[in-house]
């Protein structure tokens, strides 16, 4: 599986480095080169691209402003000489941030990460399993290229990590590429309660609630969000 790559950078030397590194990575395929972000608009309107190597500080339009204008974004790896844009870049869900000058091993690591994300995008979506109202209902979780069945009774809580979710069962978890909101729609609301923007909790594992903290029976403590304090009335006592 190859990644069709577009280089967007106003520095010819940067193009040379990326092209030289790409020669030693068989799954990277050059789709095109642009020296301004404004040129990339026209290119993307006529060519399909899987991955963009994107500089930030360019004339007329910065790389990040260009990225914000894209409705359907390819995977993006930032290549910049300035580290102060890293946080803003990751908020735009870029795959990696390469600080110039970068070595081949660092470039290869970013490329492998992009290939993994590309493969995840190409996997067919799993059908949603409707929640049922009995204790032995199974939650189907796609994790590490496997489809895992987990009884709802074993699920302590779910923790959001951006576009990923950790599904915790006692002291271990499965990581799956889904949003917490998609789980909230699927799980039975009388058992699984949203207690925070990043957490859904199985109410049967609650030990006690103190202030803004919920302590579970396994000793784990979870935050109770300010906008979710109304859920306290759902617990007995």
| pLDDT on residue 124 | 57
Residue 76's pLDDT is what? 95
* pTM of structure: 0.55
Token duo for residue 68: 């914000």
Q: To 10 degrees, the CA torsion angle through 45, 114, 164, 217? A: -170
* Fold classification of 138-234 (topology level): OB fold (Dihydrolipoamide Acetyltransferase, E2P) (2.40.50)
Q: Which residues contact 87 (CB under 8 A, 6 or more apart)?
A: none
Q: How many CB atoms lie within 10 A of CB 155?
A: 24
Nearest by Cα to 92 from 56, 116, 60, 118: 56
Counting Cβ atoms within 10 Å, is residue 87 exposed (0-12), middle (13-18) or buried (19+)? exposed
The pLDDT tens digits for 145-187 are: 788 888 888 999 999 988 899 999 977 899 998 889 888 888 8
Annotated domain spans of the chain: 3-122, 138-234
CATH architecture of 3-122: 3-Layer(aba) Sandwich (3.40)
List the beta bridge partners of residue 52.
6, 76
**Torsion angle of C-alpha atoms 39, 42, 47, 51, degrees rounded to 10:** 40
pLDDT < 50 positions in the chain: 126, 128-136, 237
């Amino acid at each position: 599986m190859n990644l069709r790559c577009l280089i967007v950078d106003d520095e010819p030397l940067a193009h040379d480095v990326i092209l030289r590194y790409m020669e030693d990575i068989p799954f990277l395929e050059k789709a095109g080169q642009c020296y301004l972000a404004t040129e990339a608009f026209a290119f993307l309107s006529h060519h399909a691209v899987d991955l963009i190597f994107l500089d930030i500080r360019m004339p007329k339009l910065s790389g990040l402003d260009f990225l914000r204008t894209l409705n359907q974004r390819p995977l993006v790896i930032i290549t910049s000489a300035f580290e102060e844009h890293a946080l803003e870049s990751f908020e735009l869900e870029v795959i990696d941030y390469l600080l110039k000058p970068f070595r081949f091993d660092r470039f290869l690591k970013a490329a492998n990460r992009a290939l993994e994300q590309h493969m995840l995008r190409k996997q067919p979506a799993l059908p949603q399993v409707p929640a049922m109202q009995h204790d032995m209902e199974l939650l189907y979780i796609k994790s590490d290229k496997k489809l895992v069945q987990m009884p709802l009774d074993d699920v302590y809580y779910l923790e959001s990590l951006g576009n990923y979710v950790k599904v915790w069962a006692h002291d271990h978890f499965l990581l799956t590429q889904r949003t917490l909101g998609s789980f909230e729609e699927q799980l039975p609301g009388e058992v699984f309660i949203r207690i925070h923007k990043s957490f859904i909790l199985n109410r049967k594992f609650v030990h006690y609630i103190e202030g803004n903290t919920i302590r579970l029976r396994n000793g784990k403590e979870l935050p109770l969000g300010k906008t979710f304090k109304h859920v306290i009335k759902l617990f007995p006592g």
